[in-house]
Structure 1
Amino acid sequence: MASGTKKKRSSKNAVRAARGSVVARRGFPWGTVIAVVAVVALAAVVVTYYLVQSAPKRALAQWTPSADNPDPSLKIPGIVTVQYQGSVHILPTERVAYDHSPPFGGPHDGYWAACNGIVYPNAVRTENMVHSLEHGTVWIAYNPDQVSGDALNKLKAKVEGKPYTMMSPYPGLDKPISLQSWGHQLKVDNADDERIDEFITALRTNQNTYPEVGASCDALGPGQFDPDNPPAFDPSPPGPDAKPMNYQGSTGAQQDTTGGMSTAPAAPTSASQ
């Protein structure tokens, strides 16, 4: 009897030992745990990358024009706005006594400055640059004595290859950087100012803020406006013959048509000169 009991116990112990041996051989499932951790880590990296990369766009979303918010720029601290009459043209030989420096609206040359993502290395005649603003362009002007190196490259990156955007030095500028769109201006102290991107997002081709929606920004070429040899900036104060801000246009000045130019004469020259 005792012998039989011992055999049963021995058999049970053998079974337990066999099971323990199998468990020991299987061990802890490290491979599965490592795989799960790797997947979770990869997902975290992807989400983090997306959040970091999309952060600038998400931050600028509130500055995108909409039916409910046609001119978001009005909420940008430091913005200056003025109402200007559009389509008032002067001759290439004439100047305008602008009310702001740089100007951002008012009478202007009949030929617009090329403005499809161009960075002008030298200062350009103001009257041509203002015409481009009338077409929905943002113009970044900078003081060449104050902006150079990395700061200049940061500004260039916001312009080069970007439709309806242009940039040029502006000698004598009272701030390092000044942004212009038609009827809007913002001056800032450095190229890292987040308001620069807010201004561009809110106003470039914002159809609620400029007169000639659909007008071209392409280069006109030699004899009109050649971006490779543009008319030079004149730093001298406008003379007594400069056209005032309430000027109504010069006879014979080029006139815009949708996407192009017209050689039809302007309205008769205003008596106010």
Structure 2
Amino acid sequence: MRRSVRPAAVLLAAALLLGGCSSIGGTSAAAPIRQSVDTSEYVPSATNPDPSRKIPGITIKKFAGAQHVPSNVRVAYTHNPPIGGRHDQVWAACNGVVYETPVRVEHLVHSLEHGAVWIAYDPARLSAADVAALATLVEGKPYMVMSPYPEMASPVSLQSWGHQLAVDSVTDPRIDQFITALRVNPNTHPEPNASCDIPSRYFDQDDPPPYQPLPAQSEIDGATIVAEEG
């Protein structure tokens, strides 16, 4: 199984990072510089089981686990991108996968339940170099996943189970703090030791189910759309 699905924009941006800048359409685009961040105080411990609580701007909400829906059912999530609640019975591959296209969120929420951190970004608001900088945090890293996501309130949003952080810049140090505090943190997600790998016959990471806009709460009819929590 391949570990990542890299879009053309990310491949181009990787070249930009190596070259330092690029001229596209007559303008120069410098690669973002991500500073080294000391995240030692965000490592989970017995006395500090959820260090993410110290991160400014973080949203935290409790969700029950194991609320599965079949693939023909949509969930009306209250967070966008979603961070917990009902989800597809099949999880999205999440061991260092950088998806080329937006992915059906019900699968990604299941990945969060397994302890993954999901980085979502608005492709209309980030440069190719920005996307490449984010991809370095994900590609080949266990329990990390990244995908484009339209219609977000911020350029970048990080999700783990019951946790969310919106940031405006790929160089924001809170990104590293969030990942350190929450990736496979057994204190913050319902299924410790659950896998992020999945056979392609269940979920093809090279051709994942496509994203669809979240249905509204007003659309819930008890059949094909369900509430985030029952």
Say yes or no: does 1:231 pair with 2:209. yes
In structure 2, the partner of 1:146 is: 125
State the SS of the aligned residue for 1:201: helix
- In structure 2, how many angstroms separate the alpha carbons of the residues matched to 1:237 and 1:61? 40
Computed over aligned residues only, the root mean square deviation of the Cα atoms, in angstroms, reads 1.3
Deviation at 1:149, TM superposition (A): 1.7
The 8 Å contact of residues 97 and 139 in structure 2, kept in 1 or not, is answered as yes
- Confirm or deny: 8 A CA contact 1:219 1:227 kept in the other structure: no
Q: Could you tell me the TM-score, scaled by structure 2's length? A: 0.80
Q: Which of the residues 199, 216, 220 maps onto 1:240?
A: 220
Helix, strand or coil for the counterpart of 2:145? Answer: strand
Letter in 2 for 1:100: H
Which amino acid is the alignment partner of residue 245 of structure 1?
E
Q: Which residue among 173, 176, 180 is the counterpart of 2:155?
A: 176
Cα deviation code 1:153-187 (max 9, x no counterpart): 11000000000000000011110000000000000
Contact in 1 for aligned 2:74/2:215 (Cα 8 Å): no
Query: Larger Cα Rg: Structure 1 or Structure 2?
Result: 1
1:245 is displaced (CA, Å) by: 2.1
Task: Measure, in 2, the Cα distance between the counterparts of 1:62 and 1:246.
Answer: 33
Letter of the structure 1 residue corresponding to residue 171 of structure 2: D
Richer in strand (by share): 2
The alignment of Structure 1 onto Structure 2 pairs a total of residues equal to: 191
**Counterpart residue number, 1:161:** 140
Distance 1:139 1:205 in 2: 12
User: Matched residues, percent identical?
Assistant: 53
* Residue 191 (str. 1) matches residue 191 (str. 2): no
Give the match's secondary structure for 1:199. helix
Q: Does 1:98 align with 2:81?
A: no
Asked whether the equivalents of residues 157 and 167 of structure 2 are also in contact (C-alpha less than 8 Å), the reply is: yes
Q: Which residue of 2 aligns with 1:207?
A: 186
RCO greater where, 1 or 2, for CA within 8 Å and sep 6 or more?
2
> 1:69 maps to what in 2?
48
Partner of 1:50: none
Give ranges in structure 2 of 5+ residues lacking alignment.
1-34
Match of 1:219 in 2: 198
Structure 1 regions of 5+ residues with no counterpart?
1-54, 248-273
Q: How far does residue 219 in structure 1 lie from its aligned partner after superposition? A: 2.6
Note if contact 2:84-2:112 (Cα within 8 Å) is conserved in structure 1.
Answer: yes
